[in-house]
Structure 1
Amino acid sequence: MTTGVGVPAVDEVLAELAALEDPRIRAVNEAHGDDHGVNLSALRAVAKRLKTQQDLARDLWATGDTAARLVALLICRPKAFGPEELDTMLRQARVPKVHDWLVNYVVKKSPHAGQLRLAWFTDPDPVVASAGWALTSERVVKAPDGLDLPALLDTIEARMKDAPDRLQWAMNHTLAQIGIDHPAYRERAVAIGERLEVLKDYPTPPNCTSPFAPIWIREMVRRQQEA
């Protein structure tokens, strides 16, 4: 059954994703809080074949299935969502990979990103607030005018140490980006990171940069200077 000539129905996409399930991939993903077992390259191939389909994207999202939602985020039109719809979607996106893709692939491309950043930044739900901080990191790098960087550092210094994991990670990212992209605040950003020691012992694979802010800042600055 299809929704139209050459247009797959939601059930067909779900069946295709189910056929791609790999128990080993699911086990790895579940260790990181992601409840699906589809190889992301295979999932992206499904989305590439489907191409942009906003109605199908909405229908796939509505299933609540994680793999289907990831496909939905790849085939949607980011600018077609209103701010209320994006807010609802974010509050539904409790799976880390869905949350990450929604923010990075959809919200950041939305004309409502600035409005949502301000709304989410102080939300009492730490998962929602983490999206506000992710959008703030984007502003720190690409459009810092109008941001109060000292105030951001004050908030990070006061709250990051005891923040829930996902919010802590997002705040740490903002701290690192301030230190990397704004030399006037680099020394303070490094000092905050060294004092709080957030992610200091985070396991980092060989040839990857530690997320511990002082190391991250110094390494990225070194690369900029050598470029």
Structure 2
Amino acid sequence: MQGLGTGAPLLPRTGEDPPVTIPREPAREAAERELSKPMYHENDPSLLQRALNRFWEWVDDLFTAASGATPGGSFGLLVIVLAVLAVVAALWWRLSTPHRAPTSSPALFDDRPRSAAEHRAAAEAHAAQGHWSQAVQERMRAIVRSLEERALLDPRPGRTADEAAAEASLTLPAHTAELRAAAQEFDDVTYGSRTTTEPAYRLMFTLDESLAHTKPTLTAPTPRQGAPK
């Protein structure tokens, strides 16, 4: 038997045609072209599925590495993850909860109408317990409701404390400054998140008492041109 040389056929010749020999690189390229045909990839996962598989493999590797470096192993890692989720949930609740934005013209009364006497009684009840902010709110409502009951203000839903003070000043000009200060105090306490004190409530209490005994200043109608004076 003769020795094999480079490129020599492995089998002896049986006919006149020489054996087929294909170099390695063209053979590899031919195999790749053949395997790239769609018929060989009909059951392959989609691009999205492959991406998801890679992602979950990455997550699994990450947790495996983290559990090995975390005291307590997998249980310690689970505790840390739960703590992080709890912090994220608390931040989301705190930041996403709608808050009423402060405004300079909020409504003075709520939906349930009450008399001036009822507001005064509520104010005194809050004052007896040292709840000065609530006492100021109810005393301001008592002042405005009393002016409405005396027909010095027209009852109007949605009226603000500032509007009530401005309108009442037209017929009670001697108390203009006090009415404006009372309205400002009401707004600061109710919508400015500011606490108040007993002296502030006593000033509003005194204003309520003074208005109850003050006669309104009625503006005389302007005579029409040509009418007898």
Shorter-chain TM band: under 0.3
Higher normalized helix content (fraction of residues): 1
Calculate the TM-score normalised by the size of structure 1. 0.22
Rg: which structure is higher?
Answer: 2
Larger RCO (CA under 8 A, 6+ residues apart): 2
